[in-house]
């Protein structure tokens, strides 16, 4: 499948990031199994624990709108390099299955993994 549109949506979302402390913008675009796309950007806070990552923003938008079946998520950053999700995001995403495809790009190449590959022994209680 061609994920270039998903990457483009993630890059667009990255422009809305609020990164006054790190200046490290991240954008995510989450594709549901029905074909709808939800985007997210990272939003920092002076109380660093209140910061929320782009991936979780996209997921919470989708879930709050009733979508809970996901195919893929594209993640990009202002670094210009591959940007992988933090541990909290990996665990958060695993709640909806570890077959989710994660798409990364560095301006030249695209890498695709399943969440299971990036979190092989996720804590899943269901």
**Residues annotated as catalytic (active site), given as ranges:** 55
Q: Is 65 helix (H, G, I), strand (E, B) or coil?
A: coil
Asked if residue 87 lies in contact with residue 74, where contact means CB atoms within 8 angstroms, the answer is: no
Question: How is residue 38 written in tokens?
Answer: 């939800």
Determine the Cα–Cα distance for residues 52 and 55; give it in Å rounded to an integer: 8
Determine the Cα–Cα distance for residues 70 and 30; give it in Å rounded to an integer: 7
């Amino acid at each position: 499948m061609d994920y270039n549109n998903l990457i483009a949506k993630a890059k667009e979302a990255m422009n809305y990031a609020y990164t006054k402390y790190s200046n490290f913008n991240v954008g995510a675009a989450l594709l549901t199994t029905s074909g709808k796309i939800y985007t997210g950007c990272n939003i920092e806070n002076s109380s660093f624990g209140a910061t929320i990552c782009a991936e979780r923003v996209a997921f919470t938008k989708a879930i709050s709108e009733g979508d809970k079946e996901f195919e893929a998520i594209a993640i990009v950053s202002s670094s210009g390099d591959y940007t992988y999700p933090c541990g909290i995001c990996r665990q958060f995403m695993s709640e909806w299955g570890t077959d989710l495809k994660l798409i990364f790009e560095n301006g030249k190449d695209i890498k695709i993994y399943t969440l299971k590959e990036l979190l092989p022994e996720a804590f899943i209680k269901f």
